[in-house]
Structure 1
Amino acid sequence: MAEPGRDAAVADEQAARERELIDRVVASFDGAADERLKTVLQSLTRHLHAFLREVRLTEDEWTTGIGFLTAAGHLTDDKRQEFILLSDVLGASMQTIAINNEAYANATEATVFGPFFVDDAPRIDNGGDISGGAAGQPCWVAGTVTDTSGNPVPGARIEVWEADEDGFYDVQYGDDRTAGRAHLFSEADGAYRFWAITPTPYPIPHDGPVGALLAASGRSPLRAAHLHFMVTAPGLRTLVTHIFVRGDELLDADSVFGVKDSLVMDFEEQPAGTPTPDGRPVGDTWSRTRFDIVLAPAT
């Protein structure tokens, strides 16, 4: 069996030098007091060196990589997280989610958190509006929160957030607006409902190093249209997920690999003048969707 990370053209003496360095770096973490930290660092070292050896990375390429990470750090602040974008476009976010959210009975599947969640979003009552003035077609969202046995989950905290019809989240405007986000709680029977705006596709921020990476590799920054959810309830696994719009052409080309078939929903457009579920007057077209949330038990 070939040695991991070794190019077939590398001479035995050179390969031995490279292995010796790996062994020394791995051994340097033997004294870590935290056993989990030791495991992670030693495995990271082995895999990183295997990558370096497999591609025979040049010094110029390594310098370019360091510059890329430095630029990502400079761009990151409390409203923009370039490293989350990097994790997302490499599929690392979705892989970590898959590892930590194993399938359980009929529980709703998880997907990426994304870089635009904000703590302390305003609370709305059931039937309220999360848009906060964000532009877009009104959309009625309703459903229930239950456990995997079908029991209603009252009082579940439901955080929701989304981009406006121009593809921007409120934090991207830089004027301290709060729009397209809120939280509410499920009722005694597990039901919830709110007004939002119909999701539309948009690009992840691509004016930084991650955008340059996508452009250089011929990839699009576009995300499939979606609405974010985070649902928490005592004794149950926290769910971070989206719902996606059936028929969206980007479902198979989402830039962060976040789409799952079970999360694709019908967003049914209603003609202008169609009565709304709560009697709200809507002068133009609007849409509606249903999303029943099932929470797995906490582990």
Structure 2
Amino acid sequence: MEQQARYEGRIIENADEVTPAVLDAMAQAPNARLREIAAAFVRHMHAFAREVKLTEAEYDIGIDFLNRIGKATNDRHNEGILFADAIGFSTLVCLMNNGNNGATETAAALLGPFWRMHSPRTESGGSIVRSPTPGPELFVSCTVRDGKGAPIIGAEVDVWHASPVGMYENQDESQADMNLRGKFVTDAEGRFRLRTVKPAGYSVPIEGNPTGDMLKAQRRHPYRPAHLHFLLYKPGFKTLVTQVFVDDDPRLKTDVVFGVTRALVGRYESHNGPAPAPEVASPWYSLDYTFVMEPGEAKLPIPPIK
């Protein structure tokens, strides 16, 4: 085991001595990765305070902001993830860890604060509309392949999205539990199909929460462009978390969480003719999309809400 020098401490004489004292104290951690991350965090935080000449009043505001993030988080809402999304941190980490470390386009995207585990298993072609949800019908047909183009059989695919009024079911008491959520399994051709309603863009929560206060102070709009969420899981492959955005949404370039990349813009086609189901009125929409999974570890993320 790597031996660390015994920490003997020091008396702080001035501001310049604070950072090295903290780094010396934390250098005792036996986990090398913990030492690396903690040391970099302290160096950057201390450098930030020096760069902006942080006042004590501003320090108090910052601590209060962090405390409010914790208080605003509950089983139905994750303020920490929302804040990380709104400053582009979630997308940065996602792109750094996918698509050749950010050097190439990738189909991966941020998880977002609304994924729930244990979505209802749904037969391919089935509907994920579980309570009255007005909106144009959407028929989705997807294929899952590996990097060589071969179909991936038996991949589990979670799908979830906001309603046409811009709310996920955990935010909206008028929607049934697990409305617009479902879990599908790819067939022998790597395909799955589903029926739902066309999603709409929506505002992230901004009333009475610290992220909303930040957006208002920066005069930023709080909207996300319309999209479907997908999480693809199959042992032997890296879990793919992604979103497919509606191509005619006017806010593709100004997504409040900076989550739109070119690979994630789908082609949502409008139709006025006969639909795949006879009771469907025009106009209705279709989406065809192909996902590519990379070899790697199949690991599910920690659900941000229950």
Normalization by structure 1: what TM-score?
0.90
User: Of 104, 107, 110, which residue of structure 1 is paired with 2:108?
Assistant: 110
Does the 8 Å contact 1:214/1:220 carry over to 2? yes
1:271-286 matched pairs, under 5 angstroms? 271=272, 274-277=273-276, 279-286=277-284
Looking at structure 2, the residues matched to 283 and 216 of structure 1 have their Cα atoms a distance apart, in angstroms, of 44
Q: What does 1:1-299 correspond to in 2, within 5 Å?
A: 17-103=14-100, 108-133=106-131, 134-174=133-173, 177-207=177-207, 208-271=209-272, 274-277=273-276, 279-298=277-296
Amino acid at match of 2:191: A
* Alignment CA distance shift 1:97-1:256 (3 Å): same
The letter of the residue matching 1:231 is L
Question: Do the aligned residues in 1 keep the contact of 2:107 with 2:291 (CA within 8 Å)?
Answer: no
1:108 Cα deviation (Å)?
5.0
Structure 1 alignment gaps of length 5 or more: 1-15
SS of the equivalent of 1:178 reads: coil
The amino acid across from 1:56 in the alignment is K
1:248 positional shift: 1.3
Alignment coverage as a number of residue pairs: 281
Percentage of identical aligned residues: 36
Q: Which letter does structure 2 place at the counterpart of 1:177? A: D
Shift of 1:144: 0.6
Q: Which secondary structure does the structure 2 equivalent of 1:120 belong to? A: coil
Q: Deviations over 1:128-181 (max 9, x none)?
A: 011212332210010210000001001111100000011000000247622011
Aligned counterparts of 2:47 and 2:57: Cα–Cα separation in 1? 18
Alpha carbons 1:107, 1:294 under 8 Å: kept: no
Rate the CA distance shift 1:107–1:141 in 2: closer, same or farther, 3 A.
farther
How far does residue 103 in structure 1 lie from its aligned partner after superposition?
A: 3.1
Give distance in 2, aligned partners of 1:261 and 1:237.
21
Tell me: CA distance 1:106–1:196, structure 2 relative to 1, closer, same or farther (3 Å).
farther
Q: Amino acid of the residue matched to residue 122 of structure 1? A: P
Measure the CA separation in 1 of the matches of 2:225 and 2:196. 17
Aligned residue in 1 for 2:3: none
- 8 Å CA contact 1:137–1:197 kept in 2: the answer is yes
Q: Distance in 2 between matches of 1:193 and 1:276?
A: 14
Give the conservation status (yes or no) of the 8 Å contact 1:165–1:200. Answer: yes
Read off the aligned partner of 1:293 and give its amino acid letter.
F
Once the 2 structures are TM-superposed, how far is the Cα of residue 287 of structure 1 from its aligned partner?
Answer: 0.4
SS in 1 for 2:58: helix
Q: Which residue in 2 is equivalent to 1:8?
A: none
Structure-2 change in CA distance of 1:106 and 1:140 (3 Å): farther
Instruction: For structure 2, list consecutive stretches of 5 or more residues without a partner in the other structure.
Output: 1-12, 298-306
Contact 1:106 1:148 in 2 (8 A): no
State the Cα distance separating 1:86 from its structure 2 match: 0.4
- Structure-2 residue corresponding to 1:13: none
Alpha-carbon distance between aligned partners in 1 of 2:212 and 2:180, rounded to the nearest angstrom = 24
8 Å contact 2:275–2:281 — kept in the other structure? no
The two structures have a TM-score, normalised by structure 2, of 0.88
Contact 1:116/1:169 (8 A) holds in 2 = yes
Residue 82 of structure 2 aligns to a residue whose secondary structure is: helix
- Whether contact under 8 Å (1:122, 1:183) holds in the other structure is yes
- Are residues 285 and 236 of structure 1, via their aligned partners in 2, closer, same or farther at CA, if it must alter by over 3 Å? same
2:225–2:252: 8 Å Cα contact kept in structure 1? yes
**DSSP-derived class of the 1:77 partner:** coil
CA contact (8 A) 1:164 1:199 kept: yes
Q: 2:23 aligns to what SS in structure 1? A: helix
Work out the CA distance in 2 between the residues paired with 1:23 and 1:65. Answer: 23
Moved over 4 A (4+): 104-108
Pick closer, same or farther for the CA change 1:269–1:251 going to 2, 3 Å: same
Measure, in 2, the Cα distance between the counterparts of 1:253 and 1:64. Answer: 28
Q: Indicate the larger mover: 39-48 or 196-205.
A: 196-205
CA contact (8 A) 2:129 2:180 kept: yes
Q: Specify the code of the residue in structure 2 equivalent to 1:196.
A: T
Whether the aligned pair in 2 keeps the contact of 1:136 and 1:197 (CA below 8 Å) is yes
What value does the CA root-mean-square deviation take over the aligned residues?
1.8
